[in-house]
C-alpha cells in the first residue's frame, strides 16, 4: 500500500479567513512571482486580504488534516489552524518564493508542537474500536469520503469507510514523529526533501521513520484482514 487515499477524517467546521485587523505592514520581496499562487501572495503582501484568503481557502483542509492528526482533537486542531494562518500572514514577507504548501505546513506543525508542549494534558478524543464521529454525516456533501466513483457500489463504499476508519486508528497509535512523517509523505504527498524542510529532520531519520510507521500500520491493519484489499493480503502471505 503506497498511499492512504480517501481517508475518513472530520472536516473543519469553519473557514479560517483572516480578519482585516491582522493586515501587517510589509513590502513585496524582489523575487519574481509567476503563477497564480505566487500572484496571490504578492497581492497579499501589498495589503490585499482577499488575496491571502484565497490561499486560506485552498489550504485550510490540508492544514486542518495535519493539525487534527497531530493533536487528535477537533477544537485543538481548529485553534492551531487559525493561529497558523495568522502567523503565516504576519510572516509572509519571509516567504522566499519556494513551495508555499511546504512553508505553511511547517508553520502548522510547529504550532501543533507548541500546543502539545504547552499543554500535555489536553483532552484527547477517546480512541475506541470505532471513530467517535459519524462517518457518513460529518463534513457535508464535499467531504473526501463521499462516493466519488459511480462504479462504486454501496457495499464497496461501506468497506472503504471501514478501512479508512481502521487506518485512522492505526495512525493515532503511532508515535508522534512516525505519525507526522508518514502522514506528510503518504497522505499529503510531500517529498522527502520537503518533509526534511517541514520537520527539520535529517533525510535518514525521515526515511527510517516512514519505513517504521508503514510496518506498524501494516501490522495494525492485518489484525482485521477482512477489511484489507487483496494486494496487502498477498504481502502478508509472502
Per residue, the 3-state secondary structure of 152-219, as one string, reads CCHHHHHHHHHHHHHHHHHHHCCCHHHHHHHHHHHHCCCCHHHHHHHHCCCHHHHHHHHHHHHHHHHH
pLDDT band with cut points at 50, 70 and 90 for residue 110: very high
Which residues does 174 contact at the CB level (< 8 Å), separation at least 6?
182, 213, 216, 217
pLDDT value at 7 more than 50: no
Give the per-residue pLDDT at 230: 57
Residues in the chain: 238
First vs last C-alpha separation in the chain:
14
pLDDT-wise least confident of 112-116, 118-122, 200-204: 118-122
pLDDT value at 148 more than 70: no
pLDDT-wise least confident of 82-86, 137-141, 218-222, 227-231: 137-141
pLDDT band with cut points at 50, 70 and 90 for residue 131: very low
Give the per-residue pLDDT at 31: 36
High-pLDDT (> 90) share of the chain, %: 39
**If you average pLDDT over residues 64-89, what whole number do you get?**
92
Which residues does 108 contact at the CB level (< 8 Å), separation at least 6?
63, 66, 67, 80, 81, 84
Please write the tens of the pLDDT for every residue from 181-199: 999 999 899 999 999 999 9
Give the per-residue pLDDT at 18: 53
Our separate counts of H helices and E strands in the chain read 9, 0
Provide the whole-model pTM: 0.71
Please state the separation of Cα 209 from the chain's center in Å.
17
Give the per-residue pLDDT at 133: 40
pLDDT value at 137 more than 50: no
Please write the tens of the pLDDT for every residue from 17-69: 654 444 343 333 333 344 788 888 889 888 888 889 999 999 999 999 999 99
Cα 236 from Cα 224, distance rounded (Å): 12
φ, ψ (nearest 5 deg) of residue 51: -65, -45
Give the per-residue pLDDT at 165: 81
Mean pLDDT, the chain, as a whole number? Answer: 75
φ, ψ (nearest 5 deg) of residue 133: -120, 160
Cα 18 from Cα 49, distance rounded (Å): 7
Domains in the chain, please, with CATH? 20-118 (1.10.1740.10), 140-225 (1.10.10.10)
Give the per-residue pLDDT at 12: 54
In angstroms and rounded to an integer, the radius of gyration of the C-alpha atoms of the chain is: 19
Cα 124 from Cα 194, distance rounded (Å): 29
**If you average pLDDT over residues 161-167, what whole number do you get?**
79
**If you average pLDDT over residues 82-95, what whole number do you get?**
93
Cα 183 from Cα 112, distance rounded (Å): 14
pLDDT-wise least confident of 37-46, 56-65, 148-157, 200-209: 148-157
Give the per-residue pLDDT at 234: 53
Amino acid at each position: 500500500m503506497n498511499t492512504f487515499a480517501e481517508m475518513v477524517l472530520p472536516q473543519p467546521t469553519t473557514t479560517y479567513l483572516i480578519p482585516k485587523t491582522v493586515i501587517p505592514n510589509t513590502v513585496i520581496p524582489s523575487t519574481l512571482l509567476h503563477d497564480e499562487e505566487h500572484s496571490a501572495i504578492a497581492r497579499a503582501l501589498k495589503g490585499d486580504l482577499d488575496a491571502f484568503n484565497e490561499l486560506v481557502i485552498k489550504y485550510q483542509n490540508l492544514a486542518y488534516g495535519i493539525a487534527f492528526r497531530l493533536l487528535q482533537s477537533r477544537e485543538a486542531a481548529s485553534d492551531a489552524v487559525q493561529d497558523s494562518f495568522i502567523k503565516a500572514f504576519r510572516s509572509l514577507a519571509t516567504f522566499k518564493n519556494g513551495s508555499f504548501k511546504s512553508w505553511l505546513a511547517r508553520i502548522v506543525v510547529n504550532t501543533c508542537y507548541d500546543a502539545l508542549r504547552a499543554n500535555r494534558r489536553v483532552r484527547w478524543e477517546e480512541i475506541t474500536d470505532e471513530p467517535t464521529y459519524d462517518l457518513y454525516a460529518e463534513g457535508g456533501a464535499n467531504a473526501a469520503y463521499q462516493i466519488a466513483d459511480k462504479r462504486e457500489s454501496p457495499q464497496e463504499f461501506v468497506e472503504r469507510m471501514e478501512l479508512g476508519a481502521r487506518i485512522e486508528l492505526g495512525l493515532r497509535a503511532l508515535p508522534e514523529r512516525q505519525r507526522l512523517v508518514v502522514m506528510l509523505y503518504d497522505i499529503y504527498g510531500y517529498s522527502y526533501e520537503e518533509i526534511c524542510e517541514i520537520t527539520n529532520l535529517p533525510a535518514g531519520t525521515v526515511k527510517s521513520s516512514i519505513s517504521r510507521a508503514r510496518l506498524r500500520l501494516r501490522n495494525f491493519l492485518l489484525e482485521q484482514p477482512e477489511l484489507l484489499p487483496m494486494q496487502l493480503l498477498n504481502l502478508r502471505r509472502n
